């Protein structure tokens, strides 16, 4: 039996991308709190549990995290409220 | 015109195509185009084009009216055509919510001022000032406003439930304002919670759920807007109240104070591309915007005489700009002003907006 993985750990999150072809840089995703479940390009935040899929190569993992899961405490602690607010109120493509 | 155009091309591309079109349709095409502008009342554009292309004459005699039946425009006074940026679409379109129902919608204000002694939550002095301001403001924006004072947790829930069971078919929007003490509750979409006067809280997530598409079908596709003035922290409110003169710190009054202005994280490069973004795997709460006086977990300042910073600024911005700006732009202005206010020394406050709207919101204003 493998020892249970702890997704709070950046390296553990990064490891989940080892056999995944993802349009976004794996390290950027892992740093933004995401790990891969191994299904397509879907990723999950270890803290808030929010998932994201259908990535575009231009997407920024932190910005997408802030757009869909603005209440995530990992996001807020790493990027701060001002960042989240800016993303929430920025000019959107409606 | 091709209905798909606006989706696949920029305005510049559209303009180029139009010019090419005109160039390739014979020498009368441009004057016919100008005539079309005249007939549809777009005087300002017409004059502009005549100025920039003085050699082109347009001949009213060679009107295209016979060939192409034109829709008769409603009469415009000469001034009206020049208004420019003030004119904006009122119908539901790709970018704007339809907001012309009269009245526009219902607005519920919950104003919790006096809390039960056992809760040890202080009286929220100044909250009635906030409440009056917002009641007047949303009435002026053509909402039907109802105010409820000093509600317990259970009563907050039943008011929201009653609101969700009303028939909103004839309305275009719904607004909920909550003025109370608050506390931190984590949630990945809408964190935070507000207190009933009995000291039990209702999470913001639950508050928004009452009006979501599932629980309130007659508000489906319509903007549901929540304004929440609450201290986000679990601590009691003692010490959060500030005297009226402290509540309005002047900016740049003396050199020491400007040091305290929070440095903006402008180094974050924000993507403005039109690319399709990643999607949430959970159903996104659509058509909901929650504007918090402060990020959950932080204190919110309230002056005992003039009311809270947030409500005062929000009210002023709505008063000044509701006729011309959309809601998220106004909330950006609110952020800016409140964070300037709070730049004095130790106090800092940054309102938070959690925005799941799909279109712009322009309120009705009685011009």
Q: How confident is the model at residue B288 (pLDDT cuts 50, 70, 90)?
A: very high
Q: Let me know: does B147 contact B113? Beta carbons within 8 Å.
A: no
Instruction: Write out the catalytic residue numbers of B.
Output: 181, 231
- pLDDT per residue as tens digits for the range B4-52: 334 445 666 666 666 666 666 666 677 777 777 777 777 777 777 766 5
Query: Which of B95, B265, B275 is facing A94, going by the closest CB pair?
Result: B95
- Beta carbons of A71 and B280 less than 8 Å apart: no
pLDDT for residue B230 is more than 70: yes
The answer to whether B338 and B274 have CB atoms below 8 angstroms apart is no
Measure in Å the smallest separation between the Cα of B358 and chain A Cα atoms.
6
For residue B39, what pLDDT is reported? 76
pLDDT at A44 over 60: yes
Tell me what the mean pLDDT of segment B168-180 comes to. 97
B246 or B194, higher pLDDT = B194
User: B197 falls in which pLDDT band (50, 70, 90)?
Assistant: very high
The structure tokens 């409440």 sit at B131
A37 and B CB contact within 8 Å: no
Which of the two residues, A4 and B7, has the higher pLDDT score?
A4
Q: Which residues of A touch B273 (CB under 8 A)?
A: 58
What is the average pLDDT across B81-106? Answer: 70
- Average pLDDT of the segment spanning B110-115: 96
Residues B92-111: what's their mean pLDDT?
Answer: 90
Average pLDDT over residues B199-221: 94
Using the Cβ of A91 and the Cβ atoms of chain B, whether some distance falls under 8 Å is answered with yes
Q: What is the pLDDT of residues B300-328, one digit of tens each?
A: 667 667 788 889 999 999 999 999 999 99
Whether residue B291 has pLDDT greater than 60: yes
pLDDT the model gives residue B95? 87
Helix (H, G, I), strand (E, B) or coil at B362: coil
Given a cut of 50, whether residue B142 has pLDDT beyond it is yes
Q: What is the mean pLDDT of residues B276-294?
A: 84
Q: Chain A: nearest CA to B285, how far in angstroms?
A: 9
A55 CB near a chain B CB, below 8 Å? yes
A42 touches chain B (CB under 8 A): yes
Q: What is the DSSP string of A11-70?
A: HHHHHTTTT---SS-HHHHHHTTEEE-SSTT-EEETTT--EEES--TT--HHHHHHHH-T
- At A33 the pLDDT is 97
Residue among A86, A88, A93 minimizing CB distance to B354: A88
Which of A47, A70, A77 would best serve as a mutation to test chain B binding (most B beta carbons within 10 A)? Answer: A70
- Judging by beta carbons within 10 Å of its beta carbon (0-12, 13-18, 19+), is residue B352 exposed, middle or buried? buried
On average, the pLDDT of chain B sits at: 74
Instruction: Confirm if A68 and A52 have CB atoms less than 8 A apart.
Output: yes
Contact A52 B264 (CB under 8 A): no
B262 touches chain A (CB under 8 A): yes
Confidence of residue B247 (pLDDT cuts 50, 70, 90): very low
Return contacts of B244-249, CB within 8 angstroms, 24+ apart: B244/B303, B244/B304, B244/B305, B244/B306, B246/B303, B246/B344, B247/B301, B247/B303, B247/B306, B247/B309, B248/B303, B248/B306, B248/B341, B249/B341, B249/B343, B249/B344, B249/B345, B249/B347
pLDDT of residue B113: 95
Size of interface A-B (CB pairs under 8 A): 106
pLDDT higher at A14 or B12:
A14
Q: Please tell me the least confidently modeled range out of B119-133, B195-209, B274-288.
A: B274-288
Interchain contact B349–A (C-beta under 8 A)? no
The model's pLDDT over B61-84, given as tens digits with 9 standing for 90+, comes to: 333 334 343 444 444 444 443 444
d(CA B194, CA B180): 6
pLDDT for res B298: 62
Residues of B in contact with A71 (CB under 8 A): 186-192, 296, 354
The rounded distance, in Å, linking the Cα atoms of B338 and B304 is 17
Q: Which of A67-76, B93-102, B235-244, B250-259 has the lowest mean pLDDT?
A: B250-259
Mean pLDDT for A54-62 is 94
Residue B88 above 70 pLDDT? Answer: no
Beta-bridged to residue B353, according to DSSP, are: B291
Element (H, E) at B314: helix B309-321
> In this predicted structure, what is the pLDDT of residue B1?
39
- Note the pTM of the prediction, 2 decimals: 0.70
CB atoms within 10 A of CB B83: 11
Cα of first residue to Cα of last residue in chain A, in angstroms, is 49
Read off the pLDDT of each residue in A12-28 and give the average, rounded to a whole number: 94
Q: Does the beta-carbon distance from A67 to B273 stay under 8 Å?
A: no
Higher pLDDT, B161 or B82: B161
Of residues B69 and A58, more confidence is placed in A58
């Amino acid at each position: 039996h493998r020892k249970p993985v702890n997704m709070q750990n950046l390296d553990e999150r990064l490891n989940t991308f080892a056999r995944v072809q993802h349009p976004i840089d794996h390290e950027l995703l892992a740093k933004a709190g995401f790990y891969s479940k191994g299904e397509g390009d879907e990723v999950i935040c270890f803290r808030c549990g929010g998932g994201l899929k259908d990535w575009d190569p231009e997407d920024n993992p932190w910005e997408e995290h802030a757009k869909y899961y603005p209440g995530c405490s990992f996001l807020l602690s790493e990027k701060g409220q001002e960042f989240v607010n800016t993303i929430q109120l920025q000019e959107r493509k409606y | 015109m091709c209905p798909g155009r606006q989706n696949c091309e920029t305005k510049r591309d559209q303009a180029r195509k139009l010019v090419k079109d005109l160039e390739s349709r014979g020498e009368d095409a441009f004057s016919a185009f100008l005539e079309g502008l005249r007939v549809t009342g777009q005087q300002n554009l017409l004059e502009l084009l005549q100025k920039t292309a003085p050699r082109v004459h347009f001949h009213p005699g060679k009107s295209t009216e016979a060939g192409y039946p034109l829709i008769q425009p409603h009469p415009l006074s000469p001034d009206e055509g020049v208004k420019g940026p003030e004119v904006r679409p009122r119908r539901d379109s790709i970018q704007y919510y339809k907001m012309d129902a009269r009245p526009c919608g219902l607005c519920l204000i919950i104003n919790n001022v006096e809390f039960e002694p056992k809760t040890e939550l202080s009286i929220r002095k100044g909250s009635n000032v906030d409440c009056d301001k917002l009641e007047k403001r949303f009435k002026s924006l053509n909402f039907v406003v109802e105010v409820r004072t000093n509600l317990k947790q259970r009563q907050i829930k039943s008011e929201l439930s009653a609101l969700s069971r009303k028939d909103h078919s004839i309305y275009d929007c719904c607004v909920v304002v909550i003025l109370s003490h608050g506390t931190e509750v984590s949630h990945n979409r809408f964190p935070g919670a507000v207190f009933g006067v009995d000291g039990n809280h209702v999470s913001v997530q639950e508050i928004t759920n009452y009006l979501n598409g599932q629980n309130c079908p007659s508000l489906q596709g319509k903007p549901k807007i929540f304004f929440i003035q609450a201290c986000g922290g679990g601590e009691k409110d003692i010490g959060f109240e500030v005297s009226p003169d402290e509540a309005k710190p002047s900016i740049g009054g003396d050199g020491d104070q400007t040091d305290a202005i929070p440095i903006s994280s402008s180094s974050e490069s924000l993507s403005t591309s039109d690319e399709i973004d990643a999607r949430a795997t959970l159903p996104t709460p659509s058509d909901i915007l929650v504007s918090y006086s402060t990020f959950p977990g932080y204190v919110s300042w309230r002056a005992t005489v003039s009311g809270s910073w947030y409500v005062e600024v929000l009210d002023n911005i709505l008063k000044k700009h509701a006729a011309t700006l959309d809601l998220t732009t106004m909330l950006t202005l609110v952020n800016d002003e409140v964070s300037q206010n709070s730049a004095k020394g130790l106090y800092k406050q940054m309102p938070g907006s959690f925005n799941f709207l799909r279109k712009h919101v322009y309120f009705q204003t009685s011009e």
